A and B are shown apart, each in its own frame.
Chain A
Amino acid sequence: MSNLNTTANSNPFRGKRGINSFNNRFFTILVWTVGIAVVLFILGLLFLILKDGMPKLSWNFLFGLPSEIEEGGGIGPALVNSFYILFLSLVISIPLGMAAGIYLAEFAPDNKLIGFVRICVEGLASVPSIIFGLFGIALFVEMFQLGLTILGGAVSLAFLNLPVLTRVTEESIRAVPKELKSGSFALGATHLQTIMRVLIPAAMNGIITGICLVAGRAFGESAVIILTAGVTTSGEMWDFSLFSPGETLAVHLWYVQSEAIVPDAQEIAQKAAAVLVFFVLLINLVFRIPLWLNSRKMQRS
């Protein structure tokens, strides 16, 4: 027995094992610390944004007209413009993006040209948003001489959304099990009927998640809007003209924080940031709840 113990003590690997277990313990502590710190940091960040602004919100602020010099300006037109531009850009980009995605998933042959098209879509998805803004200026302000308008902002934003929607649609349609498609063909359905009544409903979950992501991004996008729709509103509350300047909430936040001269800029910025984050979270969460319930139901049955 004692012999065994001494060999264990004089084990040549013993020192190394000590380092290993020290490393392991150190690593475990490090990872847990960083992980918990980051999670707390994230929650703190969200809390910080919502805490400063949310309690001070009022209807007057949400639907009031902004003011250039006096205190108490609202964000009404900017908020309306945000939703209006988001709506217009989605109306333009969802049909186009989905059709392109359906083509890539269903019709496209597997050759070099289509590989190139895929690279183009990916490339467009990685183009920095400010480039779409420059493109919008060159197209709408210079070529069509429209000036800074809601229309220009919405179309530029739609171009920004387009590649993401295309990729999401393609991926979700590809993920539909092959049996569903074969079954539909076996019942004598044409390709169009199969796509419309089988593939798209089956891929809906993924497509709607993608649309939520895109909508949240478009709602908070500011670089494109500053360049193509300007930093002013028409000054009226419900102005649905396509050709009036269209400052959105995100732009307003930047404008108030860095350029405006109103005395209560700090407070307006706090409240605007809270509203912005609140709506982005809402867009990301609310649309997913039905999908989440749906998938739970599917899993149970």
Chain B
Amino acid sequence: MLDTSSTAGQIDLGGSLLTGSGKPFDRRKRLFFMNRMFRYVCIACAAFVCLILFLILLLMFRTGILTFGEVSFSEFFLSTEWSPETEQYGGLLFIFGTFALTLLTLIISVPLSLLIAVFLSTFVPAWLKNMLRPVMDLLVGIPSVVYGYLGLTVLIPLIRDVTGTGMGDGLLAAALVLTIMVLPTISRISDDSITAVPKKYSDASYALGATRFQTVVKVLIPSARSGIMYAVILGMARAIGETMAVVMVIGNTPQIADSLLKPTSVLTSNIVMQIANVPFDSTWNYALYLMGFLLLAISLLMIVGVRWLQRRGVQH
């Protein structure tokens, strides 16, 4: 009796042990399960980000390529006659406009940004630096429509007064607005890379008797070269892709810009002005998607360029 009861007790005990150890075992299993699931969810999200890029590329390419069903390759890239109403789809003037605008923007903004970067990194005392840097960062966040609005209401009347032309919109106005927009980007990144140059370089330069001008031009800027190039490419990407600020000041006329003050059009502004009015299954729409694909290709090429620069910067 006693024996059996003790065995029964033992069985009970074992049973309670089993159920007792059941819980931690479940918890352990649950933790492993959660860990694995979390990992899969994360992988899925990372794959999703890549998927979006490829979906965009595929969609733009597939829709854009349909243009060449009706328009010849050479017409789109070499003709400057854009009048979709009469079946003329020459895209050259927009491509030219985009490149001219970007070049003009860079010509104005790069020297100015470099001066500001040098100002922020080597001239200004620390307390002022700590105040100015956040202000520059805030400027990056101001919406592009606001810049466009200011360009339209302040800059264009000013250009009209100064040059005496009737319109005022065109490449010059757009380039000035874009300069203000890319200035904080380029100067802040250049500033960071100039600040990152080891202090011993500039100390050594001063010890050799160099003036501040010589130190900045011959030591600091060459040492920070790859960072500055990175900043310029980022600014360029922003200038090429910028839409709303440009739309408001460039004039939106499909004619090639042979003067700085002539209303013209670029890839982005043309897309945004016309896309709402065209049916999806038309050559006109396909041509707009092809322009989008060109923009996409240019910006992706720039990223490859940035990567290349970074790798070279690491090697140096």
Contacts and interface: CB of A to CB of B under 8 A. Distances in A.
Interface of B: 31-32, 34-35, 38-39, 41-46, 48-50, 52-56, 59-60, 63, 112, 115-116, 118-120, 123-124, 132, 135-136, 138-139, 141-146, 148-150, 152-154, 180, 183, 211-214, 216, 237, 240-244, 247-248, 268, 271-272, 275-276, 280, 288-289, 292, 295-296, 299-300, 302-304, 306-307
B154 A48 contact: yes
A35 B211 contact: no
Nearest to B242: A128
7 contacts: A38-B112, A99-B42, A128-B296, A134-B288, A138-B63, A193-B31, A273-B150
Interface string A84-116: 000000000001110110111011100000000
A123 B211 contact: no
Given A130-B271, A220-B142, A159 B42 contact: no
A130 B211 CA distance: 47
A217 interface: yes
Given A35-B123, A42-B139, A273-B146, A128 B295 contact: yes
Contact of A253 (B35, B118, B141, B145): B145
A277 interface: yes
Contact of B214 (A24, A38, A166, A190): A24
Contact of B143 (A28, A117, A120, A220): A220
Contacts of A97: 45, 49
B303 A119 contact: yes
The 5 closest A-B pairs by CB, nearest first: A220-B143, A128-B241, A35-B119, A103-B42, A99-B45
Contact of A137 (B115, B148, B237, B275): B275
Given A34-B112, A38-B116, A45-B150, A119 B307 contact: yes
Interface of A: 20-21, 23-24, 26-28, 30-32, 34-35, 38-39, 42-43, 45, 48-49, 95-97, 99-100, 102-104, 106-108, 117, 119-124, 126-135, 137-139, 141-142, 159, 162-163, 166, 190-193, 195, 213, 216-217, 219-223, 226-227, 250-251, 253-254, 257-258, 266, 269, 273, 276-277, 280-281, 284
Nearest to B50: A120
Given A30-B115, A99-B45, A103-B45, A20 B214 contact: yes
A284 B134 CA distance: 10
A131 B119 contact: no
A42 B148 CA distance: 15
Contacts, number: 244
B15 to A, nearest CB: 29
B43 A107 contact: yes
B42 A128 contact: no
B141 A24 contact: no
Contacts of A159: 52
Given A130-B241, A137-B275, A220 B213 contact: no
Given A130-B272, A134-B292, A191-B35, A24 B115 contact: no
A29 to B, nearest CB: 11
